[in-house]
Structure 1
Amino acid sequence: MKKFGIILAIVGIVMLIAGNFFYKHTINAVDSSGSSIITTGLNGGWTFKLPVFAGGALFFLGFVFWAASRTDNQHHDHLI
């Protein structure tokens, strides 16, 4: 479980970094509402940065799995 958590965290970091290379921001000067920055994908349409969001979630889950599989009991001695 510890190796799985580390691998999951690494994949999450790679998705966070690599996911930003496929999207570009376009400032819409005509729009006067709160959405003045539009994110466009490879085909030019509006999109949501799903790989970046998924990368953050995978990094968090990897960290949780890694922390849950620790065998170091020094920090939990006060609970006994």
Structure 2
Amino acid sequence: MTTEPLNPDALAEAGDEDLDSRPGVQRVTEDMIYAHVTGAALPPESARPFAVWLDAEWYSWNEDGAQTVGTVLAGALAYWRGTA
């Protein structure tokens, strides 16, 4: 389990070695997602399944590598809640 805090302003990984090696790209884990959304955005009962799902789908939310971690999270949360 990582102890690094999630940085919403960091560039998000895209699943492309060249894009992901740029300065300022943050590797986000399932545990980081869970810690970030629990309580503030989702209850724990929904936060864990959300974190598992988003960890598996992360790259599909940032295929071009232009999104920040916060943008990926906001879009995924809106989709998860059915408000996208």
Larger radius of gyration: 1
Tell me if both proteins adopt one fold, taking TM over 0.5 as the criterion: no
Structure 1 or 2: more strand by fraction: 1
The structure carrying a bigger helix percent of its residues is 1
Q: Give the TM-score normalised by structure 2.
A: 0.25
